[in-house]
Amino acid sequence: MRNKEYPLFTVLFVFAALWNLLGAFFGYFNTAYTFQNLFDRELSDPLFQEIYKGAWGTTLLFFMGYLLVAYNPVKYHGIALIGGVGKFAFALAELQLYKHGLANSLILIIVVGDFIFTVFFVYYFVKLYRDQKL
């Protein structure tokens, strides 16, 4: 049965799922185009293309995981933890690429978006902890 105690968190994780779906749509289904737009270089190596596409495939899996959390934010808090750590680590890695001049400023959309979600995920865990749901 769906948990109705935390409608805000249901909305949060639906938005997180949609955010990931948007990224995965471009990155997974139009890999070379996405790479070109973020890194200003052609994705010509077939091995690197598969690795990059696989990273976006992981983003697609996170989309599905966030939908589960949206359905029941208390029951699926483990998925949210993995997703939150993943968002934070991915944002840091993308920020490093930008700082080292390997990515253009378009990547900051991903960085800022994932950091915002990380803050909301921290709030989610604090709230569940205070409500003794963890």
Amino acid at 58: T
Predicted confidence at residue 9, as pLDDT, reads 95
Q: What is the mean pLDDT of residues 37-49?
A: 93
Predicted confidence at residue 117, as pLDDT, reads 97
Q: What is the dihedral of CA 34, 99, 122, 13, to 10 degrees?
A: -10
Question: Which of these, 59, 51, 53, lies nearest to 117 by C-alpha position?
Answer: 59
Domain ranges of the chain: 7-130
H or E element: which one contains 95?
Answer: helix 77-99
**Packed helices 77-99 and 46-71: angle between N→C axes, nearest 10 degrees:** 140
Q: Is the pLDDT of residue 32 over 70?
A: yes
Q: For residue 2, name the pLDDT band (cuts at 50, 70, 90).
A: low
pLDDT digit string, tens, across residues 58-116: 999 999 999 999 999 999 999 999 999 999 999 999 999 999 999 999 999 999 999 99
